[in-house]
Amino acid sequence: MADKWTAAEIPNQHGRTAVVTGANSGIGFCAARELSRAGARVVLAVRNAEKGAEAGRKIREAVPGGEIEVGSLDLGSLASVRGFAEWFAREHENIDLLINNAGVMAAHPRQLTADGFELQFGTNHLGHFALTGLLLDRMAGRDDARVVTVSSGAHRMGRINFDDLQATA
């Protein structure tokens, strides 16, 4: 069996800008830290400013000199998604890597986003879809620009009910 991939194999990211959603914890935090270690300028796109600041502090501690920024993004609000994209466009000319990582799972009882979409569908899918669309033109002409959408092995078991995308039943 081949050796497992490790973050040490991330190629040099100097000169590249990455946005990681939900970067204050879990997979997003690790991805942001390791991209920073590889030299990327990393924007932590988070909904909780305090958690974002703490994650930024920890990454700077692990990667002295790393370029880390925190941006406010609530994927459960399309106004917030638009606000983040506008802020990003003011602060950055380009983006090389967008990691759509943030997510919620199986909210019970059923909850809605600020725009009235079922919470998981609205946050994980629609929020990221809107974010990607709003940032995509900043990737134009960038070599090796990528959008990575984190999913789950659970998708193999699931089925989409296209007649009830808002999970009302």
DSSP secondary structure code for residue 111 in this structure? -
- What is the nearest approach in angstroms of ligand NAP to the Cβ of residue 33? 13
Residue 131 binding ligand NAP, by CB under 6 A: no
* Residue in 13, 17, 36, 123 binding ligand NAP, rule: CB under 6 A: 123
Rounded distance, CA 71 to CA 139, Å?
Answer: 18
**Interacting residue with ligand NAP among 36, 85, 101, 131 (CB under 6 A):** 101
Integer CA distances (angstroms), 42 to 68, 84, 124, 166, in order: 5, 14, 21, 33
First to last CA, the chain: 45
Is residue 152 near ligand NAP by the rule CB under 6 A?
Answer: yes
Among 44, 75, 97, 99, which residue sits at the site for ligand NAP (rule: CB under 6 A)?
Answer: 75
Among 10, 25, 69, 87, binds ligand NAP (CB under 6 A): 25
47 binds ligand NAP (CB under 6 A): yes
Looking at the chain, the number of H-run helices and the number of E-run strands are: 5, 5
Q: Which residues touch 147 (CB under 8 Å, ≥6 apart)?
A: 98, 100, 132, 136, 139
CB of 127 to ligand NAP, least distance (A): 6
Residue count at the site for ligand NAP (CB under 6 A)? 22
d(CA 105, CA 115): 18
Q: Which is nearer to ligand NAP, 27 or 147 (CB)?
A: 27
Piece of the chain touching ligand NAP by CB under 6 A; list 7-15, 87-95, 97-105, 134-142: 97-105
Q: Which residues are bridge partners to 146 per DSSP? A: 97
Binding site for ligand NAP (CB under 6 A): 21-22, 24-28, 47-48, 51, 73-76, 101-105, 123, 150, 152
